[in-house]
Amino acid sequence: MIRIISRNFSTKVKSKQWNTVVGLEVHAQIQSNTKLFSGSQISFSAPLNSRVSLFDAAIPGTLPVLNERCVEAGIKTASALNCTINSLSMFDRKHYFYADLPSGYQITQQRAALANNGSIAFPVFTPGVNKKPYTKEVKLQQLQLEQDSGKSLHDETRSLVDLNRAGIPLMELVFDHTLEDGDEASSLVKELILILKSLGTCSGKMEEGALRVDANVSINRPGEPLGTRTEIKNIGSIRSITQAVNYEINRQIEVKSEGGEITNETRSWDATLKKTIAMRDKEIQQDYRFMPEPNLPMLLVDTNSDEKVRGNFKLKRIISDLPKLPAEIRKELVENFALTEEIAIIIVNEALLLAYFRKILSTNPKLSPKSVSNILINDFLKIANERNENLDSSRISSEHILDILTYIEEGKINLQIGQIVLRKLFDSSEKSCFEIIDESSLWQIDDDEEIEKMCKEAIEKDPKAVAQYKKGKKKVLFAIAGNVFNTSNQKANMRKVVKKLEELLE
């Protein structure tokens, strides 16, 4: 058997001679004040072992009490993902032995889940990878409720256990193996996060572990049976999903091309080394000894489809206030504001951009939606990314951007000056746009005499361009205008400059 362990592979899929098969399992932490089966508070980064009840620690004699908020969150999510919500589901014990699982089993819904047979349609658009967005639809096999385990902490000499996470409510979402690469996988997760955040059922904060992704990857040649799959566990960011899946595809292609065999194993993604690393093999299937959870009754949901079932959870009430989902919002942006599909995707992907877009246009409906989206994406988002600033904690308000757009619309500054003002706001957002423009003398030059003077000077400095213009090469006018623009420190009113140059040259 040939196994390649130490090579580095590209994180872009490099072969079309292979079918690539990718499936995802997502664990989404339900937004709730307390855990799934106990009253322990949930608080990210709380002191170690400070959010642990007797039940969480598996003290004998303690019993689980179901958190109804978590069930409702699961039902909302399942409905938004087009699932069939089961009127009857049940909890199981899944037995395995880790130090951070005090009871020796996890309470889950493996055999009779809350919901089944859903689907998610999402846009795949990665600038630089695919020029035009396309829509992919993937089936959701099931959505189940379960409790999280604790967390093991290791150093060179010892291993410790933090049980703050033990019992935190999770939704496990199992998707079909119909994705083809890392870009499609990360696009699905992006859309899922948007849906969960709009529903308020999960924060989607992967950096806090609120959403974790396992990816199953295999390859096979066209016409051949599916290949042996590997599982990449606990991928912790959108970028890592793309890189890990594409890396693993290329690793498997390399192994198979050299006559090797793929091992059924679990691997982890090392974001520093940019490679997947073998953790443990899965050749022998683990027996989890599933059994019904004896201390919890069957979960009954009144779906109005089964007259014999009358549960505590009323489906119609729970889903009566579902918000607009990302796909519907994108459609509205395209139809109501004439934005391109690409622009709509980018705006909806960033909640702050969408909020600013709506607020700016509601405050000043006369502004062009295109100009608003341009400054939000090409300037505001670009500068934030350059500075590695989180939009959610941005000090730049929608009023700042509205002021810049209004000054541009009124002809008091031009677009280039607007960009300069925005950059200055990132440095000192406590100042108003007016103060920045006034202090830096950035107001647009509109005085006819001053513009004429600058135009004459530009003509005198570039006799060659003037001669070309008079021979019929009219485009050189814009080169002369560019010189005026630069000598005015980008402040000259270019409409007046072009008009005056035409008058002088004719």
Measured distance CA(205)–CA(188) in Å, rounded: 15
Q: What are the pLDDT digits (tens) for 462-493?
A: 888 878 878 778 788 888 888 888 888 888 88
Look at the block and give the residue holding tokens 């246009």. Answer: 361
User: Maximum Cα–Cα distance for the chain, whole Å?
Assistant: 97
DSSP state of 103: T
**What pLDDT is recorded for position 14?**
59
**What pLDDT is recorded for position 472?**
76
Q: Residue 350: left (phi > 0), alpha (psi -120 to 50), or beta?
A: beta
Cβ(396)–Cβ(423) under 8 Å?
Answer: no
| Dihedral sign, Cα of residue 247, residue 248, residue 252, residue 258 | positive
Measured distance CA(289)–CA(296) in Å, rounded: 18
> What 3-state class would DSSP assign to 279?
strand
CB atoms near residue 147 (< 10 Å): 24
Which stretches of the chain score pLDDT less than 70? 1-15, 128, 130, 282-285, 305-311
**What pLDDT is recorded for position 237?**
95
Q: How many CA atoms lie within 13 A of 451 on its CB side?
A: 22
Cβ(267)–Cβ(212) under 8 Å?
Answer: no
Look at the block and give the residue holding tokens 């014999």. Answer: 308
Look at the block and give the residue holding tokens 């001053």. Answer: 450
Measured distance CA(464)–CA(478) in Å, rounded: 14
Residue spans per domain, the chain:
19-292, 326-439, 448-505
**What pLDDT is recorded for position 10?**
57
Q: What angle do CA 249, 250, 252 make, to 5 degrees?
A: 65
Cβ(498)–Cβ(477) under 8 Å?
Answer: yes
Architecture of the structural domain at 448-505: Orthogonal Bundle (1.10)
Q: How many CA atoms lie within 13 A of 323 on its CB side?
A: 11
Q: Is 467 exposed, middle or buried (0-12, 13-18, 19+ CB in 10 A)?
A: exposed
**What pLDDT is recorded for position 114?**
97
Q: Give the gyration radius of the chain's Cα atoms.
A: 29
> What 3-state class would DSSP assign to 462?
coil
Q: Name beta bridge partners: 276.
A: 269
Q: What are the pLDDT digits (tens) for 143-194?
A: 999 999 999 998 889 989 999 999 999 999 999 999 999 999 999 999 999 9
Look at the block and give the residue holding tokens 């007016």. Answer: 434
The amino acid at 417: I
**What pLDDT is recorded for position 481?**
83
**What pLDDT is recorded for position 56?**
96
By residue count, the chain amounts to 506
